Homo-oligomer: A and B are copies of this chain.
Amino acid sequence: MQLVLPSGLSAAAFDRALQQFRSIVGEDWVFATDHDRDSYLDHFGFDQAAHVGSAAVAPQTTEEVQAIVRIANEHKIPLWPISRGKNFGYGSAAPVMSGSIVLDMSRMKKIKMDIENGTVLLEPGVGFYDLFDYVEENDIPYWISPPGNAWGSVVGNALDRGVGYTPYGDHAARLCGMEVVLPDGDLVRTGMGAMTDSPSWNMHPYGFGPGWDQMFIQSNFGIVTKAGMWLMPKPETIVSLDMELDRADDLGWAIDTLAPMRRSGLLQQSPSIGNWLRAAAVLTNRTDWYDGLGALPDSVIDAIRAQFGLGWWSVNLRFYGYEEVTTAMAEKVKSIFASRTSYEMKQGIWRDGDPRELQPFAGVPITFPLQNASWHGGRGAHVGFSPALPQSGDAALAQFRRTFDRYNEFGMDYHGSFALAERHITNVNQVLFNKDDPDMVDRVDRFFRSLVNDASEQGYGEYRAHIEYMDLIADTYDFNNHALRRLNERIKDTLDPNGVLSPGKSGIWPANYQNERG
């Protein structure tokens, strides 16, 4: 991609800034060629040209991040910090606002583990594979909680409220204490880290006074250069219960059966109820099944289900801990289900010492689900649509039907799941498409906007948004004429008067770029 500069920035100032960056991080770690810019695009998005960084700079230390931020203020150049830039379906490494300089922290890879307490202090460049290797090589009795595709950063994923499949799957909730470079270059540590050399930094989640950690999540108020996280003690066993639900309408009673178990803690992790396309899109391509236009007909759905032995929905439950306890939990769950359905629950058990299952459930990072981007052929792409719903079978079923009809209307293949968090459902839709098909790209955009509109009419908000749609989503959070946006932007302008940090992130725009709001 050719160079695009942010409005109001001269080429001379940009060049001077790059020169200063080079003096900080070294010649090798400033990237500003057309080819460099290409590598920081959103390769899975559908309008790459709308989100082009002007350059990238890759520091290795917190001090370098501070120095870069100060230079950015000097020239009023916007930065777009990324951890590893793998935010699949939500924008990858690309900035909301073209011309931003990507601040690439993938070289910052320090891991500091407290084995006794199972806490780890991580830099943003540490990937799930890095942490997995570290834990395994050092025989540390804790497990990581990888997301479905584990190519990204552990900290970056948590900062975007990414989720996993173990009892530690709400990654943002397992953050404990951060080191943050503020937009003016000042350095703050949150929670107990605000006390010099506190041994409790990554143990007590709040410290004294207001709790800042969640304020640096999905925001542009600071650059997280270190974050404490809690790891899950290695369980003695994992008991598994897997069930296939034959009919689409089974979603309703299944949710009403699972939700009380989730609330009471009988289910420790967030089960995800997903449809037949989950497996098919990873293991096959659409042309293996169907060449027609429009959404897949029922006959094809039946064929896919038969091939992989799937229900309309699949439910996978996992219980972690001592065998006496996990077995008792699973038996209780089976007995509750037995009173409501004759569907079979397949039970299994993994015991410490058995080979690890290559699954996020088992704390093992995998990336093969990325294959689903290729479902339609061409250059595969993907955008995530994920509203939060109440835990009600009726609400979930209505949301499914409404959404399913929209998929059909726009000729898209349904790829949805309903994950039961402790008190809400996240309805994750992975909208797969071929970005070499201009008609499909156009349809996906209109489809996505109709999904957002449908959801917001129900009062359902997305928990996370693609960079292209951050303003659209933020617009739906409209209570008291957008009071939350007013509050966020007051804080933004106080902490970042030059608007140098991630303008537009989560729909939060600094004063100097208000005209860029989409």
Q: Residues of A at under 8 Å CB distance from B?
A: 116-119, 161, 167, 172-173, 176, 182, 186-190, 192-200, 202-219, 221, 230, 233, 235, 260, 263-266, 268, 320-322, 324-325, 327-329, 331-332, 388-392, 395, 421-424, 456, 458-465, 473-474, 476-480, 483-484, 486-488, 490-491, 494-495, 506-508
Give the residue of B195, B260, B477, B486 whose beta carbon is less than 8 angstroms from that of A186.
B486
Contact of B265 with A480 in the complex, beta carbons under 8 Å = no
Q: How far is the CA of A464 from the CA of B206 in the complex (A)?
A: 10
Residues on B with C-beta less than 8 A from A206 are 161, 172, 214, 217-218, 463
Q: Which of A186, A197, A216, A235 has the most CB atoms of chain B within a 10 A radius of its CB? A: A186
Contact of A211 with B214 in the complex, beta carbons under 8 Å = yes
Contact of B484 with A188 in the complex, beta carbons under 8 Å = yes
Q: How far is the CA of A209 from the CA of B489 in the complex (A)?
A: 12
Contact of B208 with A217 in the complex, beta carbons under 8 Å = no
Contact of A459 with B172 in the complex, beta carbons under 8 Å = no
Residues on B with C-beta less than 8 A from A221 are 210
Residues on B with C-beta less than 8 A from A233 are 260, 263-264
Residues on B with C-beta less than 8 A from A465 are 208
Residues on B with C-beta less than 8 A from A322 are 266, 328, 332
Tell me the minimal C-beta distance from A314 to chain B in angstroms.
24
What are 5 A-B contacts with C-beta separation under 8 Å? Answer: A194-B478, A195-B456, A195-B479, A198-B461, A202-B423
Q: How far is the CA of A487 from the CA of B328 in the complex (A)?
A: 49
If the complex has contacts A214-B206, A235-B264, A477-B207, are A198 and B460 also in contact, measured as CB distance less than 8 A?
Answer: yes
Contact of B167 with A210 in the complex, beta carbons under 8 Å = no
Residues on B with C-beta less than 8 A from A480 are 186-189
Contact of A218 with B210 in the complex, beta carbons under 8 Å = yes
Q: How far is the CA of A116 from the CA of B480 in the complex (A)?
A: 27
Contact of B209 with A216 in the complex, beta carbons under 8 Å = no
User: Closest residue of chain B to A506, judged by CB?
Assistant: B209
Tell me the minimal C-beta distance from A341 to chain B in angstroms.
19
Residues on B with C-beta less than 8 A from A200 are 388-390, 424, 459-461
Q: How far is the CA of A325 from the CA of B325 in the complex (A)?
A: 6
If the complex has contacts A186-B483, A195-B459, A233-B263, are A216 and B210 also in contact, measured as CB distance less than 8 A?
Answer: yes
Contact of B188 with A390 in the complex, beta carbons under 8 Å = no
Residues on B with C-beta less than 8 A from A197 are 459
Q: How far is the CA of A221 from the CA of B118 in the complex (A)?
A: 33
Give the residue of B198, B210, B218, B507 whose beta carbon is less than 8 angstroms from that of A217.
B210
Give the residue of B218, B423, B478, B506 whose beta carbon is less than 8 angstroms from that of A196.
B478
Given contacts A195-B479, A212-B214, could you give 15 more A-B pairs where the C-beta distance is less than 8 Å?
A167-B265, A186-B480, A189-B483, A194-B477, A202-B423, A203-B424, A207-B461, A208-B461, A210-B215, A210-B221, A211-B214, A214-B214, A215-B215, A266-B321, A491-B491
Give the residue of B202, B325, B479 whose beta carbon is less than 8 angstroms from that of A189.
B479
Q: How far is the CA of A477 from the CA of B209 in the complex (A)?
A: 10
If the complex has contacts A195-B476, A217-B206, A266-B322, are A494 and B490 also in contact, measured as CB distance less than 8 A?
Answer: yes
Q: How far is the CA of A209 from the CA of B388 in the complex (A)?
A: 14
Contact of A423 with B461 in the complex, beta carbons under 8 Å = no
Contact of B423 with A176 in the complex, beta carbons under 8 Å = yes
Q: How far is the CA of A21 from the CA of B266 in the complex (A)?
A: 50
Q: How far is the CA of A271 from the CA of B216 in the complex (A)?
A: 32
Q: How far is the CA of A207 from the CA of B485 in the complex (A)?
A: 12
Q: Which 5 A-B pairs have the closest CB atoms?
A: A211-B214, A210-B219, A209-B506, A203-B424, A194-B484
Q: How far is the CA of A265 from the CA of B321 in the complex (A)?
A: 8
User: Closest residue of chain B to A116, judged by CB?
Assistant: B392
Q: How far is the CA of A161 from the CA of B464 in the complex (A)?
A: 28
Q: How far is the CA of A467 from the CA of B53 in the complex (A)?
A: 49
Q: How far is the CA of A457 from the CA of B391 in the complex (A)?
A: 47
Tell me the minimal C-beta distance from A254 to chain B in angstroms.
16
Contact of A483 with B423 in the complex, beta carbons under 8 Å = no
Residues on B with C-beta less than 8 A from A477 are 194-195, 207-209
Tell me the minimal C-beta distance from A214 to chain B in angstroms.
3
Q: How far is the CA of A331 from the CA of B324 in the complex (A)?
A: 9
Contact of A487 with B214 in the complex, beta carbons under 8 Å = no
Residues on B with C-beta less than 8 A from A173 are 205
Contact of A483 with B207 in the complex, beta carbons under 8 Å = no
Q: Which of A187, A327, A494 has the most CB atoms of chain B within a 10 A radius of its CB? A: A494
Give the residue of B192, B218, B506 whose beta carbon is less than 8 angstroms from that of A461.
B192
Q: How far is the CA of A190 from the CA of B461 in the complex (A)?
A: 13
Q: How far is the CA of A21 from the CA of B293 in the complex (A)?
A: 68
Q: How far is the CA of A391 from the CA of B199 in the complex (A)?
A: 10
